[in-house]
Structure formats: structure tokens, C-alpha cells
Structure 1
Amino acid sequence: MARRCELTGKAVLVGHLVSHSNHKTKRRFLPNLVKVTLQSDTLERSVRLRISAAALRSVEHRGGLDAFLIKAGDDELSLNARALKREIAKKHAEVPVN
């Protein structure tokens, strides 16, 4: 399983661990990934995703999973999230707005 956020695309970064003597060794900066179950209001079901803690805050800030996915670009979403976004868009197109 890749260490990549399914919603924001945040992934592992590489840098240096710098000692007091300024000796540099390679290290990896891992994203803070958490497995969460988010509720989709449009699809009326829950969805399990592996996302970063920052993405979880962004989802709450934008008003839920549906609003986040509609606003997000396809290039940063995982295949699972893109399929979910298509389902939500399809469901929005079916429901007439009064």
C-alpha cells in the first residue's frame, strides 16, 4: 500500500537528518495517514479512506466529503476517490434542483 493520501495526494518526502556536526544522512518524512470512515450525504453510505490528518481537517472545513470531492481536482485524487467523485457527480445530475 502506497504511503499517499487518497484525497490530497500528500506523499513521502525525502530530506536530510542534520547532526550537530552538520553531518547529513538521508531520511524520509512520512505523511500522517489515518484510516477513517467518512459519511457521504449524497450517496447515503459510509466510505473508508486512508487520508492524511490535514486532509481530514480540510474535509471538515469544506463541509463534508461530497463538497471536498466536487471541489478537488482529479490529478491529486486516488483511483478510489475519483470513482467516488464520479458517483457523487452522477447522483447530483440525477436529482432536480427546486
Structure 2
Amino acid sequence: MARRCELTGKGVMVGNNVSHALNRTRRRFLPNLVNVTLISEALNRPVKLRIATSALRTVEHRGGLDAFLLKQDDADLSPLALGIKKEVRAALAG
């Protein structure tokens, strides 16, 4: 399973551990991913996603999963999230 947020695309970053003697060794900065179940109001069902905690705060700020998906760029979304976005758009249109 990839260490990538399904809603924002946030992934692993790399950098250096720097010791007191300025020795540099490579390290990884992992995103804080959590498994959550979000409720889609347009679909009237829960959706399980693996997202970053920062994305969870953004979802709450934008007014829920449906509003977040409609506003988010398609390039950042995972294939699962893109499918949900398509379903939400269809449910709101019809």
C-alpha cells in the first residue's frame, strides 16, 4: 500500500538527518496517514479512505467530503477518490 493521501496526493518526502558534527545521512519524512470513514451526503453512504490528518481538517473546513471532492483538482485524487467524485457529481446533477 502506497504511503500517499488519497485526497491530496501528499506523499513521502526525503531529506537529511544532520548530526552535531554535521554528518548527513538520508531520511524519509512520512505523511501522517489515518484510515477514516467519511459520510457522503450526496450518496447517502459511508466511504472508507486513507488520508492525511491535514486533509481531514481541510475536508471539515470545506464543509464535508462532497464539497471537498468537487473543489479538489483531479490530478491530486486517487483512482478511488476520482470514482467517488464522479458519483457525487452524477448524484447532484440528477
Q: CA deviation at 1:82?
A: 0.2
The answer to whether residue 30 in structure 2 is matched with residue 30 in structure 1 is yes
CA distance in 1, matches of 2:91, 2:73: 18
Which residue of the partner structure matches residue 8 of structure 2? Answer: 8
What's the CA shift string for 1:8-34, capped at 9, x where partnerless? 000000000000000000000000000
CA distance in 2, matches of 1:69, 1:56: 12
The normalised TM-score by structure 2 is 0.99
Map 1:63-82 to 2 at 5 A: 63-82=63-82
CA distance in 2, matches of 1:19, 1:85: 45
Letter in 1 for 2:68: F
What's the CA shift string for 1:18-64, capped at 9, x where partnerless? 00000000000000000000000000000000000000000000000
Q: CA deviation at 1:66?
A: 0.2
SS of the residue corresponding to residue 76 of structure 2 reads coil
SS of the residue corresponding to residue 68 of structure 1 reads helix
Alpha-carbon RMSD across the aligned residues, in angstroms, is 0.3
CA distance in 1, matches of 2:62, 2:72: 11
Question: Which runs of 5 or more residues in structure 1 are unaligned?
Answer: none
Amino-acid identity (%): 61
Aligned length: 94
Question: Which runs of 5 or more residues in structure 2 are unaligned?
Answer: none
Which residue of the partner structure matches residue 20 of structure 1? Answer: 20
Which residue of the partner structure matches residue 90 of structure 2? Answer: 90
CA distance in 2, matches of 1:52, 1:38: 13
CA distance in 1, matches of 2:69, 2:88: 8
